[in-house]
Amino acid sequence: MTRTLPFLLATVAALGLDASAFVRSSAAQEATQEARPSRVEGEAFQAPAAPGAGTKTAEQGPPNTEYKPLLPNQTRAPEPTQKAQVETAVFAKGLDSPWAMEFLPDGRVIVTEKAGKIRIVSKDGTPGQPVANVPKVDPKGQGGLLDIALSPSFASDRTVYFSYAEPRDKGNGTTVAKAKLVESDGKARLDDVKVIFRQTPTYDGDKHFGSRLVFAPDGKLFVTVGERSDKQTRGQAQDLSSGLGKVFRIDTDGNAPKDNPFVGGDKAKPEIWSYGHRNVQAAALDGQGRLWTVEHGPRGGDELNRPRPGLNYGWPVVTYGIEYSGEKIGDGATQAGGTVQPVYYWDPVIGPSGMAYYDKDLFPDWKGEFLIGGLVSTGLVALKLDGDKVVTEERIPLDHRVRDVKVGPDGAVYALTEDDGQIVKITPKKSS
C-alpha cells in the first residue's frame, strides 16, 4: 500500500521526527507525488531526565491559554539547580536603538541602528562615526536597518551582509544586500553595495520584517523573515509562491542552491528552506552546524524550532498562542497533520530577538547551550538541550530589552540593549 507525501509528513510531524532524510525538492513541491522511503529515520520525542534539573520552572507567570503541550518538556522546562552567578558591566553606550551586532576579527564590534546607521565600536567601547553609503531604509514601526553578518572569508574579502526594511513602490519588504567594508583615515564606508535578495510580495505595513542572517558551514546563507503580521497577509506563510513567513537559503549572490527543497517546482519560490513561520528574529547554528530559530508568537506561543528542508512549521494554522484580543487564532488548533511541532514554546512570551550558541570556556555550565535575547522578559534565556530536546531553562535578568546577543572572543557574553542603547558585558561573578 503506497502513501502520499502529505500522509508521511503528517505522521512524521506528529511524532516530532526528522523528515529531512526523505524530503526532496520535487516530492515536497508536488502533493500528489508518492514518496518511497523504506522507513522513517529518527526517534520518538522523549525528553530525558536531565542531570542538574531542578523542580521549579523558570517561568512562574500564568499562561495566556489553556492549551496543553503535545510533547514532554515542550514548555516550562525546569530551571537548573545550579544557576549561573553573573556580573554585568557596560561595555559600550550611546547607541541609538541598536538592532544587531557582530564581532570583527580584531575584537571591535560592528553594530546596526534601526534608523539606518552602521557604527563600529572600538575595543574600549567607544562608538565610531556612522559608516558611509548605507542604503536608505524604511524605519517605521518594526522596520529599519536590521541584521548584519560577516562573510565567512571576511578577513580576506572584507564583505558584510545586512538586511533591512527596504522602501519600495507601494510599500516595503525585507531586503538583503552585501558590500565591502572599507576603512581609511579613521573613517569607514560601504563600497560596491549590491542587493542580492528581496522578500516578495511588497506590502504596505510596518511589522514582522524578521530578520536574521546566518551563514551555514557550507557557506550558504540562511535568511529569516516574517509574514507581515496582518490577518490579510499571515496566511501567506503557508503559500509556497509567497516569500512571507519563510526561512530562505541562498548563496552569496542571492541564488537558490540546487539542493534546496523546492527547486524545480512550478510555483514555489526556490529560495525557500522552510515555511509556516510567523516572525523569526532569533537564529543560530548549534555545535553540529544545524540551524535553530526562535520566532515571535502572538499572545503566547513563542517557538524554538530547528528548521529542516521543505517542512511546514504551522503558522497560522496551528499555534500555542492566541490573538492579542484574547480570541483564538483560526480554529484554535495546536497540532495538525503535515505540520511540525515546535521543539519548545513559551506562554507567556519572552519576545525573542537575537540568539547565540555558547561554545567557550568562561561559563562551563553554559557550554553547549543557546542564549536567547528577550525583549519582553528583559534579559537572557539559557536553554540546555539533550539532543534536540530542551531539558532546562534559565533566566538571566538584565532589566532591559535585549535585541541581540553574541559570544565574544574572550568568552564573555555580550547583550545589545535596545531601550538604552548599550552593549552589556556578562561575565561570571567573582567569588568573594
Annotation says 208 is catalytic: yes
The one catalytic residue in 208, 277, 296, 400 is 208
Query: What value does the CA radius of gyration of the chain take, rounded to a whole number of Å?
Result: 21
Alpha helices in 279-328 (DSSP H): none
Q: Alpha-carbon dihedral of residues 334, 349, 346, 277, nearest 10 degrees?
A: 50
Residue type, position 347, single letter? D
CA nearest to 243, candidates 174, 168, 294? 174
**Whole-angstrom distance, CA of residue 409 vs CA of residue 103:** 8
**Whole-angstrom distance, CA of residue 152 vs CA of residue 149:** 9
φ, ψ of residue 105 in degrees (nearest 5):
-55, -30
59-66, long-range: CB < 8 A, 24+ apart: 59/346, 59/348, 59/393, 61/348, 62/348, 63/300, 63/347, 63/348, 64/299, 64/300, 64/321, 64/322, 64/347, 64/348, 65/300, 65/320, 65/321, 65/322, 65/347
Query: Distance from CA of residue 209 to its chain's centroid?
Result: 12
Q: Give the catalytic positions in this structure.
A: 208
